[in-house]
Structure 1
Amino acid sequence: MRRSERALRVLCRTALRGLDLDLPLDVTQLCDRYGERRGRPIRLLAHPLPSGVPNGIWLAAADADYFFYQANTSPLHRDQIVIHEFGHLIAGHQMLAEVSVEGLAALTQDSSDAALRRTCYSDDREWEAEMLASMILTWAEDASTGVGSTAAHDELRGLQRLLGGHRGWL
């Protein structure tokens, strides 16, 4: 069952609070810090994925989580892909199958594999992951550019930092 946007916002803020992320958002820093918190690293790997399969794949191996993303894409699209896979992780979505890293080459050659069938947003999990990715990127962009910022808000943020409030954009 698909969660509401409000429930996803709460989930997202809970997952990201306390990570002490810098702006502009660096997806590698995001994944490193979240992996440290969980005690399970997240590895980002560019891979030339064939056409007809998703641009990103999350694989849970015994020692780490691996986010494979399309090697032949722009940095902005790469960030969207990685944060989409991150969305699956923070939403608690289960992997369809656990796959070894060594099995990736065979996996990407066979587009019929279940892990590669995530190509549209009609599936609730895909919709949730994409919504979470959009929320993270929107919040980061708004905070980086000062959208909605006023002098009063800036003063309040400064006071919050002085009083030990959380740093960052959530």
Structure 2
Amino acid sequence: MPSLEPKGEGERAPTTGSGRGSLRHLARRLLDARRERTAGRDLERRLRQELQDLDIQPPLSVTELCQALSKKRGRPIILQAHPLPVSGPSGLWLETDKADLVLYQKDTSPLHQDHIILHEVMGHIRGDHRPTPDGPEWEVAVPGLGPDAVRRVMARCDYDDGQECEAENAATIIMAWSWMTAGDAPQRQSDPALRRVHRAIGDKRGWL
């Protein structure tokens, strides 16, 4: 029979098996949260550097951003609104030998369309993501484009996938930055050196 006497000062009750399991679970959650915060800061850093390298200035134009990234990569990025099936992905990136084709849902708001495009372009294309083996069929959405003409397909639908989660976060971060700088953009300097100085000493707003 266990003793009911109080523990002496400085003594601790032994940790039970269930208690150790709870502590391990808590430790894993803390480590996962720390990794997520670190990954989030790293993604923000990479996106900010990319937008600055592309010389993107507010107000954000998704079309101009795609043109700048296309020029940097030396490959056309073709944006095309398409009535994608509601039950399927809201966006698709199709990589061919000569160009990157981004399909986005035609039947939705312009704001949502911008988010879809950013997901595909600044998430998947910029991140050079690779498709999962069991990705959705895309031939239904793009009739007439033969399978041998496509080298890679990324579809925006499964956010449990690590690449999809990163692409979605990238789109959300850039959209949030664009709202932060809307109507409050600093005067653009024509000299790149002056712009670097302005970024170094000025208030940080969005990616600036």
TM-score, scaled to structure 1: 0.75
C-alpha contact 1:67 1:85 (8 A) present in aligned 2: yes
Q: Tell me the secondary structure at the aligned position of residue 70 of structure 2.
A: helix
Letter in 1 for 2:127: A
Larger radius of gyration: 2
Q: State the Cα distance separating 1:23 from its structure 2 match.
A: 2.4
Q: Which runs of 5+ in 1 are unaligned?
A: 108-113
Greater relative CO, 1 or 2 (CA 8 Å, sep 6+): 1
- Over 3 Å counting, the alpha-carbon distance change for 1:82 and 1:117 in structure 2 is closer
Q: State the Cα distance separating 1:145 from its structure 2 match.
A: 3.8
The 1-side partners of 2:157 and 2:70 are apart by: 26
Which residue of 121, 144, 161 corresponds with 1:123? Answer: 161
- Over 3 Å counting, the alpha-carbon distance change for 1:141 and 1:116 in structure 2 is same
C-alpha contact 2:120 2:156 (8 A) present in aligned 1: no
After TM superposition, list the pairs within 5 Å mapping 1:1-170 onto structure 2: 4-86=39-121, 87-95=123-131, 104-105=142-143, 115=153, 118-146=156-184, 164-166=194-196, 169-170=207-208
- Over 3 Å counting, the alpha-carbon distance change for 1:162 and 1:53 in structure 2 is closer
Q: State the Cα distance separating 1:14 from its structure 2 match.
A: 2.4
The 1-side partners of 2:80 and 2:96 are apart by: 14
Q: State the Cα distance separating 1:20 from its structure 2 match.
A: 2.3
Aligned-residue Cα RMSD (Å) equals 3.5
Q: Tell me the secondary structure at the aligned position of residue 105 of structure 1.
A: coil
Letter in 1 for 2:179: E
Q: State the Cα distance separating 1:143 from its structure 2 match.
A: 1.2
The 2-side partners of 1:37 and 1:164 are apart by: 22
C-alpha contact 1:19 1:33 (8 A) present in aligned 2: yes
Q: Which runs of 5+ in 2 are unaligned?
A: 1-34, 146-151, 200-205
- Over 3 Å counting, the alpha-carbon distance change for 1:164 and 1:78 in structure 2 is same
The 1-side partners of 2:117 and 2:56 are apart by: 16
Q: Tell me the secondary structure at the aligned position of residue 142 of structure 2.
A: helix
